Amino acid sequence: MSYPDPRYFADTGEVSATFRPADAPPEITFSSGGTCSLLSTDKDSGGLYGLYRWDFAATPSGPGTHFHKTMSEAFFILKGCVRLFNGEKWVEATPGDYLFVPPGGLHAFRNESGEEASMLLMFAPGAPRENYFRGLVEGLPAKLGEAFFLEHDQYNVED
């Protein structure tokens, strides 16, 4: 394994970093009361990855089992207890726990603890996942059905 091909070709660095303070408001709020903060979208990272902070309300929530064909997904628990499905079994994940799911890997996540919880979600390569999250808020799955999920590389599996 070697480093990827260069993506920057100047002989000196440049000022191009972005900073998001911890108290920045989340961009997406779900009907459950949970939120999603867009830390780095695919546009921000030049398509390399997408990084999102998912803050669960105490209300039980989370998607059923699914997989993606074009991207991996990773979960890092920051606060509380989040149930993660690794394709084989559910695990009770707590702060510091991490789950990596390669393309095609079955997975799911849920907060059923009755307490608030928080995690980081990372998709690589980057995809406009924020459009999927916003579509959930707008009720597009009910309007568009399976087409909505396929457009967003979400292949749902019967639980």
Q: Which pTM was predicted?
A: 0.94
For the chain, the average pLDDT equals: 96
So what's the pLDDT on residue 98? 98
- In angstroms, the CA 115 to CA 46 distance is 35
Question: What residues form DSSP beta bridges with 110?
Answer: 83
**Taking the CB of residue 62, how many other CB atoms lie within 10 A of it?**
18
- pLDDT, tens digit, 9 for 90 and up, residues 87-109: 999 999 999 999 999 999 999 99
In this prediction, what percent of the chain has a pLDDT beyond 70? 100
Domain boundaries 28-156, CATH class? mainly beta
So what's the pLDDT on residue 68? 98
Listed in sequence order, the residues at least 6 apart from 46 whose beta carbon sits closer than 8 Å to its beta carbon are 7, 126
Amino acid letter at 153?
D
So what's the pLDDT on residue 76? 98
Decide if pLDDT at 28 tops 90: yes
So what's the pLDDT on residue 1? 83
Instruction: State whether the Cα torsion 132-134-136-140 is positive or negative.
Output: negative
Mean pLDDT of 65-86: 98
Mean pLDDT of 25-47: 96
Model confidence at 111, pLDDT cuts 50, 70, 90, reads very high
Decide if pLDDT at 34 tops 90: yes
Residue extents of the structural domains in the chain: 28-156
- pLDDT, tens digit, 9 for 90 and up, residues 130-158: 999 999 999 999 999 999 999 999 999 98
Q: Apex CA 75: angle with CA 69 and CA 77, to 5°? A: 165
